[in-house]
Amino acid sequence: MGDQIQTKRENQKKPSVRMLAYQTILRVKTGGAYSNVLVSQVINRYIPDERDRGFYTELVYGTLENLIFLDYVIQKFIKTKLDKLEPARRIILEMGLYQIRYMDSVEDFAAVFEMVELMKKIEPKTKAYSFINGVLRSVLRDKKAFEIDVKDPVKRLSVRYCVSTWIATTLVQQYGHRKAESILESLQKHPTMFLRVNPLKTSTEDLKKELEVKGVACDEVKGFPSMLKVSRLKSIEKNEEYLKGLYTVQDLSSQVCIKALGVKEADRVLDVCAAPGGKTTAIGEELKNSGEIVSSDAASNKLDLIRRAAKRLGIENVTVRAHDATVYEEQWDQAFDKVLVDAPCSGIGIIRRKPEIRYKSKQDFRMITTLQGKILKQSSRYVKVGGVLIYSTCTLNREENQEVVKEFLKKNKDFTLEEFEVEGLNMRATMAELLPDEGEWDGFFVAKMRRN
């Protein structure tokens, strides 16, 4: 009896899925939390039911991914400036509009009712719920509520595809309006999930069989023998095959980076800016526990992620170091056959995975190219004569990509660009630009250089 009472009390204390979604969005918008980290924490702690997990995840990510459009609609139905609206009321309206516009599983009247009830819980001593009810019902009555009436072509792209005007302007200036819109449209879609099969523990064929028995749809990827394209794979961190170290979730674009690096058994490799360790462990699998990998990152709190990933996968030749990549490390001077610089960047190529990037401004990245240049310069000093230097980012801003490489080569005549080939993509390039509208991958950039 006592156990039943305790369980009942715990259930009463447990927040509803919509309340959890609201709290998550609030922390991302006002507290600077990373959505992917926070969503994972909330799910593991509060949402054991798979159906509830799906609803929560869609509501959080869907709302965050469409804020600019949702705010545009809200502004049409309120008298005050949107920036003057209290954060709680604004988020409740955004959540409500997202459910009305995009979630077919939620009836319109139910979306309004649930948001009104949620507002009552958040502000029980005010009549804010009446305001929420009025705005959402006004939207339902207006057949043109979700139409976009913006004449400026760049601002229209910003509203339509929910990116900051800086991102829209950057893409239009560098790729042209038509291509920019194609890129932005692709970044609205859900990303494809790829698994990198760990050859130290299994084969692609064997893993495919194991996953298919459990209902996971698997397809081999032409030209990438260690990759599987999958769907219907859920609860990855609790998945038996994952825990055994049989695979890692990694986008196809990262494999292009590893192919360009071209490691061989017994190579000594340095991976700077390495956390959380996806490329470090990919290199480790290529080396088959021969040679050595030094995996470094300035964020000492993230180094354990690299260690845990290497241990799970059975990779034993990784040394993890806390190191600021802008600072010269004398003991590494010309000590490595291959050096990988996967540099910090604006992340435009992965905004569908990290929705908070959508709303970044130029000011947020005003010193980024200077930082990238410093990291590339210091890291180049660690490459042996005849060795390879890779510079990569997950952005589509050419100022952070081609221009950084050109500036580096102008000042460092002992390095030259070198062509590399990726058979699976029919690609031969010295600087490869992977655009997300041209294949099932994230936006990515890779440049290969050799020290002469």
State yes or no: 62 annotated in a binding site: no
Sheet hosting strand 247-249, strand order edge to edge: 217-221, 224-231, 193-197, 247-249
Q: Is 274 annotated as a binding residue?
A: yes
168 is in an annotated binding site: no
Residues forming the active site: 394
DSSP 8-state secondary structure symbol assigned to residue 152: S
Question: Rounded to an integer, what distance in angstroms lies between the CA atom of residue 407 and that of residue 437?
Answer: 28
- Which residues lie closer than 8 Å to 323 by C-beta, 6 or more apart? 272, 296, 297, 298, 329
Annotated binding residue 276: yes
Q: Is there a binding annotation on residue 324?
A: yes
> Phi/psi at 293 (nearest 5 deg)?
-120, 125
The answer on whether 342 is annotated among ligand-binding residues is: yes
User: Per the annotation, does 273 bind a ligand?
Assistant: yes
Question: What number of residues does the chain have?
Answer: 452
DSSP for 50-64 reads: HHHHHHHHHHHHHHH
Strand partners, 447: 391, 431
Does residue 297 have a known ligand-binding role?
Answer: yes
Cα–Cα distance, 174 to 351 (Å, whole number) = 18
Distance CA 443, CA 110 (A): 38
Three-point CA angle 110, 114, 117, nearest 5° = 140
The annotation status of 443 as a binding-site residue, yes or no, is: no
The answer on whether 13 is annotated among ligand-binding residues is no
Note the helical H segments in 47-107.
50-65, 67-76, 87-102
- Residue ranges for the known binding site for S-adenosyl-L-methionine are 273-279, 297, 324, 342
Per the annotation, binding residues are 273-279, 297, 324, 342
